[in-house]
C-alpha cells in the first residue's frame, strides 16, 4: 500500500463526499428510511457511499473494501482492508445538529493504521499523514492542495480531574455509571466519530462506549487516535480493539489517552 497515495485519496474523497452530504443537509427536506436493522438511512448516506466506493475501487482495485451501506454483501477474508462509514451520525444529520462525519480507514492486520474523519458541518478535518502521524487541517479544504496542518497529540491526563466525552444520541445510564467511577472535572457530549478526535486533540481524556457499534463506525477515529498517541481498548479485558471480526460488531470499549487507571466492565 502506497501511504502517500492513500492519504491523498482518502482526504480528497472525504471532502468530495462532505460536499455532497452538505448539499442534501442544506435542502429544505430529505427522505429518511429505515434499514433492515431499523437504523435510519438517507440519500446523503447513499450518495457519499457511492462516491467514496467508486473512488477507492479505482485507486486501490486489489484491496478489499468494506462499507456500511454495502455491509450485507461483504464476506471478509482479508486481514488488510479499507473500511468506510460514509455518514457516521445519521441521527445528528437528520436532526440537523451538525455532529456527523465522513470516515475512511485502512486496517492492516486487524489494526486501523490510517484514517480520515471529516465533519463538514463543523469544518473540522482530521487524518493520518503518510507517516501515520495524525494532524488537523485548517483552511479552505481545497480538494487537490492540502491546507495548513497541525500535528495533534492526546492529553497528559490529570487523573484527579478528568475530561470525558460521551455519545450525544446514545448516552444511557450504563455509560453514566461507568463515568461516575472516575474523578471527572467536566463532561461533554458529541456525536459520531468526532469523540475519538476530541480525545486525539487533547480536548477530552477519554470516551467510553457501552453500546452497540460496528467497525465502520470506529475504524477511522481509532486510526486518528492511534496516530495521536492514544488507544482504544475493549472494556471487558482492556485489550486493544481489533478489526475484521465476524459480523463487524464491536464489544464495549474506551478510547483514551494513556495514563488513566481503567477498570474493566
Q: What residue numbers does the annotated binding site cover? A: 68, 85, 87-90, 217
Backbone angles phi, psi at 128, to 5 degrees: -90, 135
Annotation: binding site for substrate: 68, 87-90, 217
Helix runs in the chain, H state only:
3-25, 43-59, 90-94, 173-179, 194-200, 215-226
Q: Are 87 and 44 in contact (CB under 8 A)?
A: yes
Annotation: binding site for Mg(2+): 68, 85, 87-88, 217
Give the span between the Cα atoms of 17 and 143, in whole angstroms.
Answer: 11
Here the cell at position 129 is: 499523514
| Short-list 213, 164, 165, CA closest to 189 | 165
Here the cell at position 256 is: 483514551
What is the bridge-based pairing of β-strands 134-137 and 149-151?
antiparallel
Q: Are 90 and 214 in contact (CB under 8 A)?
A: no
Give the span between the Cα atoms of 200 and 206, in whole angstroms.
Answer: 9
Burial of 99 (C-beta count, 10 Å sphere; 0-12/13-18/19+): buried
| Short-list 243, 253, 255, CA closest to 212 | 253
Amino acid at each position: 500500500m502506497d501511504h502517500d497515495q492513500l492519504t491523498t485519496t482518502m482526504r480528497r474523497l472525504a471532502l468530495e463526499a462532505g460536499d455532497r452530504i452538505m448539499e442534501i443537509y442544506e435542502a429544505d427536506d430529505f427522505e429518511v428510511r429505515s434499514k433492515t436493522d431499523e437504523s435510519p438511512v438517507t440519500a446523503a448516506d447513499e450518495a457519499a457511499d457511492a462516491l467514496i466506493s467508486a473512488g477507492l475501487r479505482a485507486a486501490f482495485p486489489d484491496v478489499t473494501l468494506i462499507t456500511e451501506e454495502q455491509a450485507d454483501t461483504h464476506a471478509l477474508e482479508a486481514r488488510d482492508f479499507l473500511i468506510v462509514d460514509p455518514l457516521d451520525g445519521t441521527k445528528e444529520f437528520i436532526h440537523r445538529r451538525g455532529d456527523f462525519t465522513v470516515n475512511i480507514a485502512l486496517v492492516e492486520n486487524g489494526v486501523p493504521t490510517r484514517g480520515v474523519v471529516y465533519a463538514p458541518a463543523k469544518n473540522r478535518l482530521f487524518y493520518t499523514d503518510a507517516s501515520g502521524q495524525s494532524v488537523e487541517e485548517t483552511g479552505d479544504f481545497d480538494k487537490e492542495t492540502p491546507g495548513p496542518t497541525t500535528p495533534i497529540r492526546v492529553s497528559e491526563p490529570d487523573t484527579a480531574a478528568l475530561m470525558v466525552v460521551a455519545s450525544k444520541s446514545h448516552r444511557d445510564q450504563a455509560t453514566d455509571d461507568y463515568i461516575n467511577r472516575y474523578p471527572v472535572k467536566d463532561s461533554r457530549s458529541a456525536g459520531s466519530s468526532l469523540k475519538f478526535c476530541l480525545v486525539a486533540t487533547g480536548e477530552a481524556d477519554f470516551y467510553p462506549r457501552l453500546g452497540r457499534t460496528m467497525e465502520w463506525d470506529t475504524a477511522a477515529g481509532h486510526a486518528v487516535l492511534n496516530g495521536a498517541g492514544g488507544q482504544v481498548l475493549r472494556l471487558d479485558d482492556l485489550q486493544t480493539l481489533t478489526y475484521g471480526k465476524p459480523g463487524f460488531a464491536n464489544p464495549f470499549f474506551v478510547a483514551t489517552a494513556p495514563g488513566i487507571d481503567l477498570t474493566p466492565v
